[in-house]
Amino acid sequence: LDSYLQKNEQPMDKKNEMCLQAAWGLEYLHAKNVLHRDIAARNCLYGDNKVKISDFGLTREGTVYQMDPHKRVPIRWLAPETLKMAIYTQKTDVFSYGEL
């Protein structure tokens, strides 16, 4: 999604639709008790007028995940409380979604 939008100017209503589709994807993951842990524009794919969440390498089952504070993770999209407490929740994913 990130590179698509950089190369293709879109009207605001189309961008809003893309964001809505990403939100539906995140809602689906959370309904299945899955934490994505790496929601970012680079991990949202766009094609055939659909946004799909991708890159499940950091995904964990459950609603709370205690991260290893010594492990390196992408921090640009992380909620401040996750950086401070090293705990991921669904709220962390929602914060990251808001950064889109």
The catalytic residues are 38
Distance between CA atoms of 39 and 70, rounded to whole angstroms? 21
**Four-point Cα dihedral 79, 85, 88, 94, nearest 10:** -20
20 membership: H or E segment, kind and range? helix 12-31
